Amino acid sequence: MSSDLRSSIRSIPDYPKPGIVFRDITTLLGDARAFRRAIDELVQPWAGTKVDKVAGIEARGFILGGAVAHQLSAGFVPIRKKGKLPHATVSIAYSLEYGIDEMEMHEDAVAPGERVILVDDLIATGGTATAAVALLKRIGAEVEAACFVIDLPDLGGARKIRDLGVPVRTLMEFAGH
């Protein structure tokens, strides 16, 4: 990965708590060249293939996933926090560092057998992404891949996704958390 794309990520020490370095992609999103390059690199393995839908995890996954879906001429599916979608939904509970949360998607957002790529900004412990993969598979999606701009490999999330049989694409890694 080129240093120019990596350098477009802002690192904020001790956020949201001491000892954590937050990797902020808003600086990448605000840099037109870096944003375009990130989307092009996320899309590259699937260019010219049949992808039916791109699922994005709230909220930064909406920005990235919408752009990826556009590039692939695919539909976009939002995966949201519980209670935010207006139509009938399917939901899944997943563990957070301190407790449980739930995410959901419309039950008719993906037809059985449709090829879906999951997109979010960052993979850390993998809790949210593994839950999203399970939710997509529950309604019959063929999850072709999970794509992230940033991987924090020390936290093992990408490995958890691969262990589910889903290929993972990341554009850069940052050691630690």
The residues annotated as belonging to the active site are: 60, 97
- Closest to 42 (Cα-Cα) out of 67, 76, 78, 73: 67
Q: Residue 57: in which H helix or E strand, if any?
A: strand 53-57
Rounded Cα gap, residues 16 and 12, in angstroms: 9
What's the sign of the alpha-carbon dihedral 73, 77, 79, 83?
Answer: positive
Place of tokens 């995890």: 57
The residues, ordered by sequence, that sit 6+ positions from 20 with a Cβ below 8 Å of its Cβ are 14, 177
Residue 122 in contact with residue 25, Cβ under 8 Å?
A: yes
